[in-house]
Structures are given as structure tokens and as C-alpha cells.
Amino acid sequence: MRKSRALYAAAGTALLSSLAVACGSGGGAGGSGHKAFDPKDYRGGTLTVLNHNDQGHFDPARLYTSGGGKIPTLVFRTLTTRDHTTGGPEGAKPVPDLATDTGTPSDGARTWTYHLKDGLTYEDGTPIKAQDVKYGIERSFAPELPGGAPYLRDWLVGGEDYQGPYKGGELDSIVVPDDRTIVFHLRKPEGDFPYLATATQFAPVPKAKDTGVNYEKHPVSSGPYKVVSNDQGRTIVLARNPHWSQKNDDQRLAGPDRIVVQSGLDQSVINQRLAASSGADARAVTTDTNIDASVLAKLNGPQGLKDRVATGFFGETWYLAFNTKAKPFDNQKVREAISYAVDRRSVVNAVGGTAVAKPATTFLPDQKAFGYTPYDYFPGGASGDPAKARKVLAEAGYPNGLTITLDHTTSAGDGNGPEVATAVQEALKKAGITVRLHASESNDYAEKTQKPATEPGLFLQSWGADWPSGGPFLAPVFDGRQILKGGGNYNASQLDDPKVNAEIDAINKLTDPEAAAARWGRLDAELGKRALTVPLYHPVYKRLFGKDVTNTYVSQWNGLYDLSRISVK
């Protein structure tokens, strides 16, 4: 779910400390909206989804999703999925979907075996077979179908060189002994494999129906809805899949008869339409647009908007990234001085205030499944400690201050944009650090910051969870073996510590999520001592929904409405 990848299918990745629901009368463990959810009468009607970002390529091979409650989970079932049925920490765990369980590990978590449920069918009534899951994964390796999560290329034996079924035949590390069994052979232990098996690459694709790059126009449904039309990701219309059965899918309620997704809308327009809640918009939600200042100002007004806001937390951290190979950031004392000087209150205000952001002092998000361990090694309070920063700066050899450059994007309203950069600049000035700002357009910024040869010394960055575990959060950012010289690098500090790498390998062998979480938390706390980043804030999602939408509880996985549970009046 990585916003650092300029993708919104994090992704992340996301947890809630308890079931997040609509504010006001909608609150409570039932997860309902302002109108009570009736489990005996929840089917029918049309749900509209109003989004700013395009859905993109609606092909399971090209989607970057992993188990959340968004549009793809309505069409594509996978071996496992996130638990859609419960609140609390349990909602952050993978559960069986197409498979009978979350997988059986062997050979020290290097081999994972799954068995499919009985009676699984596609939208045309034909049976789903294990070979279809294998083929769906294999086509995600095809160069013609880029965009999916990259883990399988790294994890599967032979994955690094495989070019997909159109050119490379079959991938031998995926074995199908019979129609209901599929076995994965990994080149290293991966205790998080059940989480990865929620990704859309694990959706079955019947080889006979594969039309390559055109498959996205009408992908074959294995879920409760099928694609009626797809206008290049701008408008997608879904209708019920008549061959889907809730008897073998206990995760999706499939309430509405029809779902219409409208993308490419202005965010202020989305909020205006949801606030007005007239016509079809009374039965509408958004999965990517936070409430804005105009809505915040009206929450306690007569329109009752307060009762139509759902709050969630995505496992993501926005931070200052240091290139420790560039001077003066190769000096840990300089990094510590900046850590002391940062004014997190001003940063939070720059992105919209405490309603949409929480100050952060840890790299891991403050949620249990990640292994959150509290620490604040360079305490500056809410608004920074410039006096302490000056003292540490002098210890670093800069008693008269120094001048540095901070890179950021040109995108106003972006967490990596000019508002946050200016807040950091003003805070560091109080500590004797002059900050020159350097802005780049978002695409250029991503290309520059993700290549070690062009990476700036200091820049704004974010990292979001691909699934709720410390592994996909810490490894890409701190594992030295994941430094990519050619681009797509997220290890900004370029840390390559054999002890850190070995600890990552050791934790990856664990198949007990709670044991792994504890180890990830300890590793985060140790890394925090090195001031490799300056965590700034964790985002808070606040999303409006229409007055005739019910059961608007928020996914524990990604902090968004779970569309598989929503109903409309």
C-alpha cells in the first residue's frame, strides 16, 4: 500500500485499535453507520463509489492490493484474505478465502501448501482449479503486465528470471499435484506468506479466457460481483455474480445489487457531493478522499455530518529521509540535531491538523500488528527543542550552524509537498540550521529519490504497509540487500548492516505473527537509535459517507471502508 510508490493500492496497508465506525450514533462494536444494520435485510440497491484516483488497470496481475476492503476484493477472491467479519486486532489477520486454511508451512517456512475449497466457480459457472491460481500468479511476472506487488519475484525459486507464461513457460516452483492443491517453493523462509497470499496475484485466471493486456476489460470474476463495464478505470460498473455462493465465502456480505465506481473526480467535489447526499450520492462512499476543511467546519452543524464520518488508521509513516552517504548527513550527530529540532506540531498543522494526522516518533506505526514499541530517543516535545539541537550540532562540529537542502514535491496538499517542507525549514532555522528548499514535480521526485546515484541528502518521504506486519515495513527501508542501484530503491539511508540483515532473516522464519511482531518492534527500536529517519506523523483517515449507506465499518487492514460489508437503503 505504498504511497512512496505513488500508488494508492497500498496500499498499504492498516489497523485500528478498535473497530472504527461512523462517529456519533453509528459508533459501537457492531460497526454500523448512522442507520442500524439489519442482517436480515441488507441486500439491494446501488452503491456509488466517488474517488479521486483512477482505479488503474483492473487486472489482478497489475493491481497492487493485499486484502483490504476495496473494489478488487469484490471481484477477485484469493487464497487468503483479511478477516472482513470482525473488529479489533483479529481484523488485521489473514483468513482462508479460496483456500481451506491460511497455508501449511514446511521446510522451515520455505514451502507453503494450500488446498482449495469444494464448489468454487467462476461467473460462468465453470469450476475454479488450483492450476488457475498458478496461472494467475505466473502471468503477473509477464513484462506486458507490470504494476503488481514485487514480492513473488524475490520469494519464489526461479522468480527473479521468470518472464511469465507468454514467453517463459511455467514456473516450476509452483506445483499443482491435483485440481485442489497448490504448493509454493520459496528460496528463503517467509513466515508472512499467508499475508502475501491475499494479494490479487493469487486470484485464479482461467488460461482459456486470458486475453493478455485486454484481460482488464472483462476479467473473469471469482467473487460476488462481475465486471459489467470498465471505462479505462474511470468508470467501472459491477453487478452480482450469479454463480457466487456465500456458502463458501463467509467474508463478503455482498449487499448492493450493483456498484458504480466513478474515478478522476476533484476531491473538493467528492466532499461536496457526499455532504449534500442527494439522489444517488445518498448511497455513496469514497475510498481515497479525506474530509477537507470545509467539511471539518460543518461537522457540528445541522446537517448531521458528524454522524456520517468514518475514521480509520492506515499503517503508514511520513518522515524525513537521510542519505547517510551524503555530507553532512553521514554524521549521526547532525541527524540527531535535526531530530531534536523538528516541530511536529507545525508539520501536523501543515497537513490539516490532528483530525487527519498523529505526531510520530517511531518508524513503525503505533498499531499492535506491526510490533509497535514506543520510543523517542531525541525528544523535542510537541514543537521541537532548538536549544538541545544547537548543542548537539556543536558536538557534530558545527558550532556556528550549517546550511542544508531539503527536497520536496511541488504538489500542494501532498505530505511530501511545500507546506510540510516549509514547516521543517522554519523549525530548523530556530536551531541554527538554514534550510534551502528544492522542489520537483512528483514523477521526477520519485525517480530522483529512488535511485542512489541521484538521491538527495535530505528529503520528505513516506512508507505504507503492504500488509499489517513489521516485515514489509522495515525490510524495504533498512535491509541492505534491498538497495537497488538502478532505481526503485526505498532504503534511503543505504544502510547495509549484516546484523540488521540477519535479524530480518531470523524474523522472517517465524510463522507466529505475535512472536514476529515483538521482534519487529525490538528491531525498530534499535534502528531508531541511529537517527536514520525523522518520523513526522501517521495519517488518520476521515471519510464521509452518504445518508443512506449502512454498515460503514472501517477495515482493520487499510483504514478504509470495507466495501464487502457495506449496504445501502
Confidence at 68, pLDDT banded by 50, 70, 90: low
- High-pLDDT (> 70) share of the chain, %: 92
- pLDDT above 60 for 510: yes
- pLDDT above 60 for 443: yes
Would residue 99 count as lying in a domain? no
Task: Specify the higher pLDDT residue, 90 or 382.
Answer: 382
Confidence at 34, pLDDT banded by 50, 70, 90: very low
Poorest-pLDDT segment among 17-26, 40-49, 295-304, 522-531: 17-26
Would residue 169 count as lying in a domain? no
Tell me how far apart the alpha carbons of residues 509 and 269 are, in angstroms, rounded to a whole number. 47
Structural domain of residue 364, as residue ranges? 316-539
Query: How many Å is the Cα radius of gyration of the chain?
Result: 23
As for how many domains the chain has, the answer is: 1
Would residue 135 count as lying in a domain? no
The CATH number given to whatever domain includes residue 459 is: 3.10.105.10
Tell me how far apart the alpha carbons of residues 309 and 536 are, in angstroms, rounded to a whole number. 25
Confidence at 545, pLDDT banded by 50, 70, 90: very high
Would residue 328 count as lying in a domain? yes
Q: Are 89 and 369 in contact (CB under 8 A)?
A: yes
Mean pLDDT calculated for residue range 447-459: 96
pLDDT of residue 533: 98
Would residue 105 count as lying in a domain? no
Would residue 320 count as lying in a domain? yes
pLDDT of residue 168: 81
Q: Are 451 and 487 in contact (CB under 8 A)?
A: yes
pLDDT of residue 294: 85
Average pLDDT of the chain to the nearest whole number? 90
Mean pLDDT calculated for residue range 297-319: 88
- 491-520 burial code (b ≥16 CB/10 A, e <16): bbbbbeeeebbebbeebbebbebeebbbbb
pLDDT of residue 87: 64
User: Cell 515483538, residue?
Assistant: 518
Tell me how far apart the alpha carbons of residues 563 and 550 are, in angstroms, rounded to a whole number. 11
Confidence at 551, pLDDT banded by 50, 70, 90: confident
**How confident is the model over 41-62, as pLDDT tens digits?**
789 999 999 998 887 889 999 9
User: Cell 488457475, residue?
Assistant: 132
- High-pLDDT (> 90) share of the chain, %: 75
Would residue 180 count as lying in a domain? no
Q: Are 331 and 396 in contact (CB under 8 A)?
A: yes
**How confident is the model over 125-135, as pLDDT tens digits?**
999 999 999 99
- As given in the structure block, the three cell numbers for residue 486 are 538502478
pLDDT of residue 86: 76
Helix (H, G, I), strand (E, B) or coil at 402: strand
- Single-letter code of the amino acid located at 401: G
pLDDT of residue 20: 29
Would residue 222 count as lying in a domain? no
